[in-house]
Structure 1
């Protein structure tokens, strides 16, 4: 049941075993084992697969035919979370993988600047982030 559902979800998404493996940071042969050899992932990988495909773990394992994960009621932002953090977190899900990589580069470059220098050195931040992303892609 798991192997069939995993393969069906991957095919519906139009991605190869290699692409799925790369996204989950595992080997292609592991995905192949899940799809054809009856191997099942550990809990962490199972959750990652469910998150990636937007389905419940129960669906992947055949416990239900409903693909929709049960959405917990979102917790209100903690008192320690600043409004800007909540705003950023709310925007992350709309970004592509490439955009998320660029954002991470910007954040890393900002952290390297002296305190208060970020607004004065925007071009440096963008240059550093761009060079990090191009070296990571190569």
Structure 2
């Protein structure tokens, strides 16, 4: 669910993996592994993604369907 949420948010906002990786100051390959669920996402990255997309951490992690 988490991995789908971050991919869907990126695609819904017409962003590339590279654009989000640049925002997070990480390599695109690392971000790709986040979306594929191949590596764990650090809490700092979750916070930055929630801020970037203006959604709650609960929404980002699939605990809530409410974006705020």
Same fold (TM over 0.5): yes
Determine which structure has greater relative contact order: mean sequence separation of CA pairs < 8 Å that are 6+ residues apart, divided by chain length.
Answer: 2
- After TM superposition, the structure 1 = structure 2 runs for residues 47-66 of structure 1, keeping only pairs within 5 Å, are 47-66=47-66
Q: Provide TM-score, normalisation by structure 2.
A: 0.91
Residue 40 of structure 1 deviates from its aligned partner by 3.0
Q: Which consecutive residues of structure 2, in runs of 5 or more, have no partner in the other structure?
A: none
Structure 1 runs not aligned, ≥5 long: 69-138
Secondary structure (helix, strand or coil) at the match of 1:30 reads helix
What is the CA RMSD across the aligned residues, in angstroms?
1.1
CA distance in structure 1 between the aligned counterparts of 2:40 and 2:50, rounded to whole angstroms: 13
Superposition deviation, residue 38 in structure 1: 4.2
Listed one character per residue, the Cα deviations across residues 67-96 of structure 1 (whole Å, up to 9, x for unaligned) are 11xxxxxxxxxxxxxxxxxxxxxxxxxxxx
Counterparts of 1:1-138 in structure 2, within 5 Å, are 1-68=1-68
Q: Distance in 2 between matches of 1:52 and 1:32?
A: 17
What secondary structure, in the 3-state scheme, does the structure 1 residue paired with 2:66 have? coil
Runs of at least 4 residues off by over 3 Å: none
Q: What SS class does the counterpart of residue 64 from structure 1 fall into?
A: coil
Aligned residues: 68
Contact kept? 1:21, 1:27, Cα under 8 Å: yes
Checking the alignment, whether the CA contact within 8 Å between 1:2 and 1:61 is kept in structure 2 is: yes
